[in-house]
Amino acid sequence: MISDDQRKALIEEKFLFLYGSKPSVWVQAPGRVDLMGSHTDYNLGFVLIQAINHNTWIAARPRGDSIVRIASLNRDGIAEFDLSHIEHAKDVTWSDYVRGVADVLQKENYVLKGFDGLVHSTIPFGSGLSSSAALEVATTEVFESLADWQIDPLQKALLSQRAENEFVGMTCGVMDQYSSAMGKAGCVLLLDCRTNTSEIIPVAPGLQVMICDTRAERNLTGSEYPERRAQCEEGVRILSGFYPEVHSLRDATLEMLTAQQADIDPVVFKRCYFVIEENQRVLDLAAALASGDHQKAGRLAVESFQGARDLFEIVTKEMIMMFDAIMGAPGAFGTRGAGGGFGGCLVAFVRSDCIDSFTEYVKQQYTRNAGIQAEVYPVQSASGASVLAIE
């Protein structure tokens, strides 16, 4: 992975070329991996999340007007918009994440200053590691750094989520932005998506989290993600008619669901069954990681993958091929899909003394079967968004 000094040099050179000066503000926001909790966040359940040491930097310099200009070293184009009249991008569409944050902040009466900015990210796009959330949270950091107001990390997460929901049009839950804003180095977070509070979960030694990227790009805004959310909401609507205490799938049990199976569409039933089981798996995994029961952690991950494949139906053929490669690899305890599904990465729990042999085996097997060059690498937990001390 590129070093911080190399990133700084690349960014400064491009910034000077684009804007004729050097940046005065540097911020970062990390990506994340969800160790357990597929589609449980918008169902107000639990997720087990880890901010990772792949992140998004934004270098910026304030302007004397209300114009924002933003470019990226990872993507083509430079976007420009006026804070006094924010519209969706006609091109350079990734800038909608920046525009959305600005729009939401101004709706909450935060006074914003224009800036010239340049983005660089080490989070693979479309991989399920929350590059979009990192960009949103980093953008809030830039606006805050240039202003005379401050936002606490939780509010940064919630406002960034609103930007994605309301402006971008992606009806995601809060876990991605929460992890990026609130991550803790050296541990994972058990997030309660109803209360937006988290518990720090220590991870016993001997286990390494590995990212296994199928390189099959995801596009959730145009995928079946919104349909899955609607199906969960339909299940809640039906169940709440029989059980008034059910306000989300977080409140439902498998006994409740199976008792009303005749009243629920079969597809909706499968979706709800998965989420209810997955929510319990989050709690079980937190306990397994803390106690060092790596075998149980692996079994829970496999159960999650199987449920995502058979009940929630968010698993692609490339994900299945990656699953098969991982489960045959040295040191693998188990694996599951990261993010919302429909491609992207799998997260694997691996013996920490088997990283090299695991990596080599998975790359060879997946490339042979899928015809795609896989990316396989370990990740470490990281701290949440911050201003970088770069001169």
80's enclosing H/E stretch is strand 78-82
**Nearest of 81, 83, 101, 203 to residue 142 by alpha carbon:** 101
Length of the chain: 391
Among left, alpha and beta (phi > 0; psi -120 to 50; other), residue 331 is left
In sign, the C-alpha dihedral spanning 117, 387, 98, 5 is: positive
Among residues 41, 96, 116, 176, the one annotated as catalytic is 176
Distance (Å, whole) CA 117 – CA 269: 47
Q: What is the separation, in whole angstroms, between the first and last Cα of the chain?
A: 22
Distance (Å, whole) CA 84 – CA 36: 41
Q: Is 176 a catalytic residue?
A: yes
Burial letters for 193-226: b for 16+ Cβ neighbours within 10 Å, e otherwise? beeeebeebebeeebbbbbbbbbbebebbeeebe
Burial letters for 170-185: b for 16+ Cβ neighbours within 10 Å, e otherwise? bbbbbbbbbbbbbbbe
The set of catalytic residues is 176
